[in-house]
Amino acid sequence: MSQPATVSDLLAIMARLRDPQDGCPWDLKQTFRTILPYTLEEAYEVAEAIEEDDMDALRDELGDLLLQVVFHARMAEEGDHFAFADVVQAICDKMIRRHPHVFADADLRTDAELHANWERTKAAERAAKRPAETAGALAGVARALPALARAEKLQRRAGTVGFDWDSIDGVFDKVREELAECRATLDEDAPIAARLHEIGDLLFACVNLARHMGVPAEQALRTANGRFERRFAHVEAGLRATGLAPGPTVREEMEQLWAEAKAHEAEGKRG
């Protein structure tokens, strides 16, 4: 029986694939930028496996994501920037530093105390990386994040320095305000730039509402996308069963099948 594979085995495989003499031509021509789309894709596939409660898929997707980390680390090592061991060292140091109540003698017990300490530590880390005059509260929020996730993170950061709503009532009022302004751009036949502006404000306000309700906005929308896909698949299947196809002429039938799909979901939740 063969021995279980280790991270060292994976590092050796990647080194072999990137060997200038005998490696894989495709792997050899890759760069950080060309691999980046695959890294993002694998992260989303991990999220999908979690959302579907598919543990077999999660095992495989975590492996694919780990491969991305190893790939980037290998290219960095070839460029004399850092190696995989440095990546591991950095995250170990960070986790110990951010958990003084576990690895030191800090007395942090409540969720509020833990969160405040986490944010203070992260702020100190950001300040250490940037000159004091540029190390603002919003510094370091990755621009490559999905827009909803980035909006939520920007809002949380602003909240740590007191720039936040006192209660969720104000957030509901803001959503209603932004919705009315969106309607006004339509009623006034405003140019697309104005509509884009107001829709952006509305989405930002909705993210703020999700945050105050304790709901990750990105996950909420991903879940809504999944519901829409399932329900529309039911609509298409129902139409096919009667020899029909989606289209404006069968709008009533589609609405009925949509309501049926929603009812089935509700029954499943109660069951």
- Domain limit, last residue, from 32, 65, 97: 97
Residue 41: give the domain boundaries: 7-97
Nearest Cα neighbor of 171 from 161, 183, 179 is 179
Q: What is the CATH number of the domain that holds 71?
A: 1.10.287.1080
For residue 228, tell me if it sits in a domain: yes
- The two three-digit tokens of residue 178, written as one number: 């932004």
- The two three-digit tokens of residue 132, written as one number: 């004091």
Query: pTM for this structure?
Result: 0.70
Q: Tell me what pLDDT residue 230 has.
A: 93
Query: In which band, very low, low, confident or very high, does the pLDDT at 158 lie, cut at 50, 70 and 90?
Result: very high
Q: How far apart are CA 1 and CA 12, in angstroms?
A: 21
Does the pLDDT value for residue 221 go beyond 70?
yes
Q: How far apart are CA 257 and CA 265, in angstroms?
A: 12
For residue 52, tell me if it sits in a domain: yes
Task: State the first-to-last Cα distance of the chain, in angstroms, to the nearest integer.
Answer: 45
- Domain limit, last residue, from 97, 113, 138: 97
Query: In which band, very low, low, confident or very high, does the pLDDT at 164 lie, cut at 50, 70 and 90?
Result: very high
For residue 263, tell me if it sits in a domain: yes
Using a pLDDT cut of 70, give the percent of the chain over it: 97
| Element holding 189 (H helix, E strand) | none
Kindly report, residue by residue over 103-138, the tens digit of the pLDDT.
Answer: 988 888 888 888 788 778 877 777 777 665 556 788
For residue 223, tell me if it sits in a domain: yes
Query: In which band, very low, low, confident or very high, does the pLDDT at 140 lie, cut at 50, 70 and 90?
Result: confident
For residue 17, tell me if it sits in a domain: yes
For the ranges 37-41, 140-144, 194-198, the lowest mean pLDDT is seen at: 140-144
Q: How far apart are CA 249 and CA 265, in angstroms?
A: 26
Domain count, the chain: 2
Kindly report, residue by residue over 77-104, the tens digit of the pLDDT.
Answer: 999 999 999 999 999 999 999 898 889 8
- Domain limit, last residue, from 56, 72, 97: 97
Q: How far apart are CA 99 and CA 86, in angstroms?
A: 20
Q: Tell me what pLDDT residue 138 has.
A: 86
For residue 249, tell me if it sits in a domain: yes
